[in-house]
Structure 1
Amino acid sequence: MSFPIALWQGPSPEGSDDRAFAALDAALRAAAALGAITLVAPEAYLPGYNQPDIPARAQPRGGPWHQRLAALARSHGCGIVIGYAEGDGDHVYNSAVAFDASGREIGHYRKVQLFGPREKSIYTPGDTVSTFDLGGIRAAMLICYDVEFAHLTRKLAEEGADLILVPTANPEPNTHVSRLVVPAHAINHGLTIVYANYCGTEGDITYCGGSVIAAPDAAILAAAGPGPALLIADIDRQPDPALIQTQLTDFRPV
């Protein structure tokens, strides 16, 4: 069975919905043409990670952004996983949402591990993880800094996840995350991780690109450089049996 997953690395739309949805439309069209099940896009892509007025721009779950995303997925016959600023009453969350190829919401997640003083001043942290079915594979979402915390990856592996989809906004000089941390967590927990970063600059942030799809044996199935890229990889492959780890069953608390 073939299971192609696409990843899109591009610049921030910098608060422009028109720019954001034009870029997503083109990326989804290309991903669908290549047979992808879903496309993973960066963190807080709506309205852009480093925008100055995120609380004012945040939208509720199911609001206009979601309606447009669902329509895009439906029109191209390709799912999408993307980060957005979620407004919920007096709270703002750094969230991610997954739609399937029919435009149906199949997963939703709020970032647990907020990064740095800026995120902590804007967002309320999430407090739970969950899994969902993506075309017959048990999938989950984390957001950027989350994937650097082994306890979150382990929790999802314990809940049966085989695939973690990670919208991210990783700035320079943190290239070690996609080169080392993501493949290490993939092999240690026996799952595939799709890590979708920005590229270019946004305000005072320069993103390091380096988006990656890492397999359960730490094989790099696809990797981007520092510029715009659309990656696609068939994650239905047999990992090297000599590299399959048994940490989940071997773990002994101390």
Structure 2
Amino acid sequence: MSTVRIALANLREPTTPSESVQFATAAIREAGRQQARVLCFPECFIPGYRWPDTKLPAPDPLFLEQAWVTVAEAAKAAGVTVILGTERLTERGLQITACVINADGTIAGWQDKGQLDPSEERQYPAFGTERGVFTAGPLTFGVVICHEGWRYPETVRWAVRRGAQVVFHPHASQAEPGGYRPTMFGDPANSFHEKAILCRAAENTCYFASVNCASDGSPTTSAVARPDGSLQCAQPYGLPGLLVADLDLSAATGLLAARCRTSPL
């Protein structure tokens, strides 16, 4: 049996760009101490997701470049592969992306968000057009970002059909005024998002690892679903910390993704 330990950075939302880097490097060090091979951060963790009422400063490419260098140095020091939810400025405007950093501190590549929620398109007008898979030792993985994983299951299948044993799902969600506030994973009153986590795993015979920030009343939390669609573990709602999971890669066969006859992906 080949087992790989992963970690999800279910951290408090940073209030400033500099705080996001401090939180990220501390989490990387902790993931290294816990011997995780891969650590995944939520969507746009650096510099922070730009909610409609955000007070974050305007996008700063120089800050982002230095932040990526700092995180890469932390990844190398800890010996951890990092999936960093971040943003970058492009010719088409601001883009949501994930920077995949190898355990030696080199950048393996980027997974840009290709399917945006309609509410995001004004703030983040640029979108990705290509997908990829990445490796960390014996683990092959894909990355789908927030809305992609919730509403476009084809993005998960794409990665699994190309060998991904786990698909990481960095996302961002906050409590809405007067909205329902879940307290326990699996409560029938909770939103569809928990069910989607289980479905993405079961319909592809892969692990699905979804990560959000910890905030009071958030409608989602971080969780890992097994290839049979059962829940392996979930972070208690609103509680900051690393969610660590040991994945049995022999269970992630990708069987159902491979058997799909109707999808061109």
> For the superposition of Structure 1 and Structure 2, which TM-score range results when normalised by the shorter chain?
0.7 to 0.9
Q: 2:162 aligns with which of 149, 159, 162?
A: 159
What are the equivalent positions in structure 2 for 1:1-254 lying under 5 Å apart?
1-17=2-18, 19-50=19-50, 52=54, 56-59=58-61, 63-117=65-119, 119-123=120-124, 124-148=126-150, 149-172=152-175, 173=180, 175-200=190-215, 207-226=218-237, 227-236=239-248, 238-239=250-251, 246=256, 248-252=258-262
Q: 1:54, 1:85 within 8 Å by CA — same for their partners in 2?
A: no
Alpha-carbon distance in structure 1 between the residues aligned to 2:105 and 2:68: 9
**Which residue identity lines up with residue 21 of structure 2 in the other structure?**
F
Q: 1:209, 1:225 within 8 Å by CA — same for their partners in 2?
A: no
SS of the residue corresponding to residue 63 of structure 1 reads helix
User: How much is the aligned-residue C-alpha RMSD, in angstroms?
Assistant: 2.6
Alpha-carbon distance in structure 2 between the residues aligned to 1:78 and 1:247: 28
Structure 2, gaps ≥5 residues long: 183-189
Identity of aligned residues (%): 22
2:187 aligns with none
Q: 2:9, 2:42 within 8 Å by CA — same for their partners in 1?
A: yes
What is the TM-score normalised by the length of structure 2? 0.83
Alpha-carbon distance in structure 2 between the residues aligned to 1:108 and 1:54: 23
Q: 2:208, 2:225 within 8 Å by CA — same for their partners in 1?
A: yes
Q: 1:59, 1:65 within 8 Å by CA — same for their partners in 2?
A: no
Alpha-carbon distance in structure 1 between the residues aligned to 2:122 and 2:170: 20
What is the number of residues matched between the two proteins?
245
SS of the residue corresponding to residue 26 of structure 2 reads helix
1:15-69 CA distances to partner (integer Å, 9 max, x unpaired)?
Answer: 331x222222222222111110011111111111135476832537982121111
What is the TM-score normalised by the length of structure 1? 0.86
